[in-house]
Structure formats: structure tokens, C-alpha cells
Amino acid sequence: MSEPPSRGPDRDLFRDTWVRYLGYANEVGEAFRSLVPAAVVWLSYGVSSSYVLADAIDKGKKAGEVPSAEAGRSTRVTVAVVDTLVWQALASVALPGFTINRVCAASLYLLGIATRWPLPVRKWTTTTLGLLTIPIIIHPIDRSVDFLLDSSLRKLYPATDKPSSS
């Protein structure tokens, strides 16, 4: 995370604290896929998905607490929940999970044909490469999802309810 966490009442539990790292659980699960049972990987997706849902609910509650007309409140809450849910699902679960999965699969395959290392060494090397890839892909994926949503879904929101980029 390039921005320092904020302090005080503006502090966002899901973006400015250690809780944010729960969103990366599936990436860690994908990195360890060659070493652990599939159920462990699916559990990591459960953790990440729970994080996404909790953040969307939190953003909806916060949007509902802003004083305004009741008709505008409902729209604002809906936009906050949908935007957060879609953004987090793409930026925290789907795209990073797919990317780490493919990096690990490719590295395991390439190590199998390029080296004579024993399978456990190749699997641990693959896991290490997957883990090292996580910090490299975070910001490019986040910015790409911002661009994607700004170019599509966010154009559909009412002008007064557009959320700021995540």
C-alpha cells in the first residue's frame, strides 16, 4: 500500500488497517495451490469473498448515514454497495487470483521442462514465485479496475452519486 493509513474518524477499517490483507487471502491460496489440498485454496477464496462482502456492506452503511432526502439515500446506498462489490470482486478476488494461478501454473510447467529439480523443490519454487508476484500485481490491477469501472459501470451512476475511485 503506497498511501499511509489514515488515523481518526476517517479511518476505513477495510482499506486502512490490517483487515485489507484478508482480501489477498485467495492470492496466497493460489500461490500454495501445488502444496495444499484444493479445499485450502477454496477456503482462501471464502476469506477473500467475505472481506469483499463486508466492505460492500460497510460502504453501504456509511452511504446511508449521510443526511439527505430519503429518495436520494436509497440510490446512494445502492451505488456504494454495487460499486464496492464489483470493484473489490474484480480487484481483490477475480483478477489477482487468476493472475497468480497462471503465474504458478506456468512456472511449475517451465520448471518441469527446464530443470531436473525434484517435484517438491519445483512446487516450493512455484509457491515462492507466486508469493513474490503478489506485491507486483496489486497496484496495476487496482488501477486497471478503476479504469474499467470509470469507463463502464460508473458512467451509469447518477451524477451526484458517483463514488471516488477506490
Residue 41 is placed in which grid cell? 485454496
Cell of 126: 512455484
Q: What does the block give as the cell for 95?
A: 483478477
What is the per-residue pLDDT for 140?
96
Give residue limits of the domains in the chain: 18-161
Amino acid symbol at 136: I
pLDDT score recorded for residue 121: 98
Cα gap 99→102, rounded to integer Å:
5
Predicted confidence at residue 95, as pLDDT, reads 97
Q: What is the mean pLDDT for each group of 10 consecutive residues in the chain (166 residues)?
A: 53 86 95 97 97 96 80 85 96 96 98 97 98 96 96 86 58
Cα angle 111, 29, 122; round to 5? 15
**Direct distance between the N- and C-terminal alpha carbons of the chain, in angstroms, rounded to an integer:** 13
Q: Look at residue 164 in the predicted model and tell me its pLDDT.
A: 59
